[in-house]
Amino acid sequence: MPHLVSRTAGAVLLSLCVGAIPAALAQQPATTPLGKPGSQPAVAPAAPSPQQISEARDVVLYSGIARSFQVVVPQYLDQIGASLTRTRPDLIRDLNVVMEQVKPEFDKRIDEMVDNAAKIYAARLTEPQLKDAAAFFKSPAGVAYVQAQPAMMNDLFPAMQNWQKKMSEDMVTRIRTEMKKKGHDI
């Protein structure tokens, strides 16, 4: 069970990161609209406007990030059900009824997280940047990106784990080699 929770949390985090890539790229100050390098990036105002938050909400919804929030409620209910019925299988029938009864209450909290994410995006990106990001996610290329995202996450998560493992092993080997040169055998 803890492995499932950590894998789910890792997948949600990874999904948020990958889902945010196009939005993050939208804020990169590589060039001005006229293509002049070195210009200053537009800075989002301290208090985002309602329109900016609305645009950010579109980015959160159309980018697939909201999917990451939507899986939390059913997964937690499944985990709670499995945990409670492991030692008390007689609770299954009533527990299933109760979980179906409370699910809508917790589904409403997904909107809270979508709103929170929109405010975070709106605080970091200007309204034009958010419009551009939303336009991308609504475009055929953006829709294809979002549709491919779950499969990419399935492929990327183990690749990331392997990369982290190899990186860690290589760091330890390299540090040991350098420490040996200094007379320390670790």
Spatial CA neighbour of 56 closest among 138, 129, 140, 149: 129
pLDDT for res 41: 52
pLDDT for res 4: 44
Q: How far is CA 11 from CA 69, 112, 135, 145, in A?
A: 11, 20, 26, 17
Cβ contact 63:22 at 8 Å: yes
Query: Which range (59-63, 64-68, 132-136) has the least confidence?
Result: 64-68
φ, ψ of residue 34 to 5 degrees: the values are -90, 0
pLDDT for res 43: 57
pLDDT for res 118: 97
> For residue range 45-64, what is the model confidence (pLDDT) as tens digits?
468 999 999 999 999 999 99
Query: What mean pLDDT value characterizes the chain?
Result: 83
The sign one gets for the Cα dihedral 8, 11, 13, 19 is negative
